[in-house]
Structure 1
Amino acid sequence: MTRLFVTLFALILALPALAQDTAEAPEVDEKVVSCGYQADVVAAVQQARLERVAERNVPEHVMAQSPAWPEKYNNVIPLITPWVYEQKRKIIRNEDLSAAWSELCLQQ
């Protein structure tokens, strides 16, 4: 489980596509919203894994579900997918990866 959080934290730090355009720190509300959308992406990728969607087909599969998040969050699907797919099936079935992602995201 520790490895899961270390990998998760490294992924969160590596997501410049969602960085703020301004040098100022984002307001708490913006951070909560952004972390929520990121967690939604993680949940969608986790669901695709549970449905046994091939890793290379995940972006198309997720987009076919008409996700509710803003379009810019589609860019992180290929970044999150390998992390979700490297997790053991037991973790995918029993853990809420989106909650873990959201928690770490909010701590940044």
Structure 2
Amino acid sequence: MIRFAVIAAIAISTAPAFAQDSKEESCGYQAQVVGAIQQARLDRVSERDVQDHILAQNPEWPAQYNNAIPLMAPWVYEQKRRVLRNESLSDAWTELCLQQ
């Protein structure tokens, strides 16, 4: 969980463009990014291709959140597939993000 907190803090702090959104909006968009990465992982998209795969689907979040994909992908890809199938990482991300 500590590693998750570190990654969340990095993603949140390295995204100054997110400042134009409210905290709730920003955390929601970040959670959507995490959810898209999680789905890509479940779809067996390789980590090196995940950003291109997600962007090809024209995600609905603002474009500046695309920069968070490479920051968040390693955390998602290190999770066991059992966790990915049974837990919502986007919900966990939202909860932690709102606590920051």
- TM-score of the alignment, normalized to the shorter chain, above 0.5: yes
Aligned length: 99
Structure 2 residue 38 is the aligned partner of structure 1 residue 9: no
TM, length-normalised to structure 2: 0.91
- Aligned-pair RMSD on alpha carbons? 1.9
Structure 2 residue 84 is the aligned partner of structure 1 residue 92: yes
Asked whether the 8 Å contact 2:47–2:73 carries over to 1, the reply is yes
Offset at residue 8 of structure 1 (A):
1.7
Q: 1:81 aligns with which of 44, 55, 73?
A: 73
- Identity of matched residues, %: 55
TM, length-normalised to structure 1: 0.85
Offset at residue 101 of structure 1 (A):
0.2
Asked whether the 8 Å contact 1:17–1:75 carries over to 2, the reply is no
Structure 2 residue 41 is the aligned partner of structure 1 residue 49: yes
Structure in which a larger fraction of residues adopt helix: 2
Please identify the structure whose Cα radius of gyration is greater: 1
Residue ranges of structure 2 left out of the alignment (5+ in a row): none
